Structure 1
């Protein structure tokens, strides 16, 4: 296993740095995941709504790696929050991936206006109790939605996967995660587009450490304790993004990155997002 592992609240170990395939076409996902596995990644993150579970599964099965060395995450979509729909959606995702079990299954968005995420969580608890997902969690959950799950159910989410990068470090939500025993996982860890990586601070720290701006930002995530899933389809970038375990940012570096916080959200607001797709 390349890099660090974190221990989730049920004792399951998860690679701290994984590979995401959001916005990657199915055929391209197969190639990108295969490249990532060859580069040393062992954690792969997909979702029903990405429409690339099949390509991801082909790469996983074609890698020749033992299943127990892989950590595979996918997600329940917003149209499937009713109990029976959630159970069926899980089966369908497993079929598309060609797997017998998942390592982590997440509710993709809370969709508070629909108010069915507690029903979906009940289905995930059954999936977990049946041993079909080693861990269960959520994605894009607000403090309110996460607190409701923690108060109403016996199983606290192992992970909350949220938008998190130096522009939006999510301090308050991370503090709640720590209080509840939920692991923070960052999507869009490098922002989207090139704005963040073109900022003077990452560039200066990259020069200081002999690394790239992207490697500096990923290292920042790791030192915060975040699980992180950078995405790329470029083989050189895929290899670059995992080469972040041989240097460390000091307190001055971390303070400099903290100045980038502007509360800027790239994706939709989880409190109102209700797209069914």
Structure 2
């Protein structure tokens, strides 16, 4: 995935581009993150009007009802929109996960949730696997179209495989030039698990001369450069903002292409685990 000679934008990307999932459904390449945005209805509507078709929520974010309301009132056909939510570790376990995911389903007020994730590997192997079995059951009941994980390291996914259970269709990870998670990304690629990049804008901590120089070169903002880098590596990218101008600006990344030499320059900024913004639980037991 991080071989800069392989350019995922060889097929020209547009805002409506999608990535096929193992479940047979398709994931938009660009989405809106709504973490720390309790009243996110207006943000979602701005995003939908700008051409976004994906919103990433979670039980922990306390805004599932806001996202569901925006989807219902967007004027966009439901099948054209993609909604993600996640179950947080205090709710892990088979019965508790069924209850928690039922609550999510009710809060959204939608016929289905497109993709439901385990939010992190915290809690230990037994409860992770019980939770995964609960998600499979909810998917089979028609409440979710697809199921996946977030913040999972290789061994967390391997324990699913070793238990004889189906693999997640997606692993959502903190990925940006300073934290590239290369080993996990490579593993997911080998298993046909799509990687979705959260914190692609490094939570605003992107003051680096390489990024500044390249943004000037391409006549784009640094956030636009970072999102484009993410997309050209084949990730589905989740920039977060509650600012309407920034939401629109973050979608304006389909009219330029970073060349391979410049992609390699950005790739070279990787700091491994030390580059994580804040919460990166991939090493959880």
Place the TM-score, normalised by the shorter chain, in its bin: over 0.9
Q: Does 1:167 align with 2:167?
A: no
Q: Is the 8 A contact 1:163 1:267 kept in 2?
A: no
Counterpart position of 1:242? 251
| Counterpart-to-counterpart distance in 2, 1:40 and 1:266 | 28
Q: Deviations over 1:113-141 (max 9, x none)?
A: 47410000011111222222111000011
Task: Give the C-alpha shift of residue 16 in structure 1.
Answer: 0.8
**Higher RCO (CA < 8 A, seq sep 6+):** 2
Q: 1:222 aligns with which of 217, 221, 231?
A: 231
Question: TM-score w.r.t. structure 2 length?
Answer: 0.90
Give 3-state SS (helix, strand or coil) of 2:19's partner.
strand
Q: 2:36 aligns with which of 13, 17, 23?
A: 23
Unaligned runs of 5+ in 1: none
Give 3-state SS (helix, strand or coil) of 1:37's partner.
helix
Q: Does 1:38 align with 2:52?
A: no
| Alignment coverage as a number of residue pairs | 270
Q: Does 1:13 align with 2:26?
A: yes
**Superposed structure 1 runs of 4+ greater than 6 Å apart:** none
Q: Is the 8 A contact 2:105 2:143 kept in 1?
A: no
Counterpart position of 2:203? 192
Q: Is the 8 A contact 1:57 1:97 kept in 2?
A: yes
Task: Give the C-alpha shift of residue 2 in structure 1.
Answer: 3.0
Q: 1:231 aligns with which of 226, 240, 261?
A: 240
Give 3-state SS (helix, strand or coil) of 2:202's partner.
coil
| Counterpart-to-counterpart distance in 1, 2:171 and 2:110 | 23
Give 3-state SS (helix, strand or coil) of 2:241's partner.
coil
Alignment of 1:61-72 (within 5 A): 61-72=72-83
Q: Deviations over 1:150-209 (max 9, x none)?
A: 23233210110011110001111100001111111111111113x31x211122111221
Give 3-state SS (helix, strand or coil) of 2:121's partner.
coil
Question: TM-score w.r.t. structure 1 length?
Answer: 0.93
| Counterpart-to-counterpart distance in 2, 1:164 and 1:58 | 29
Distance 1:102 1:259, change over 3 A: same
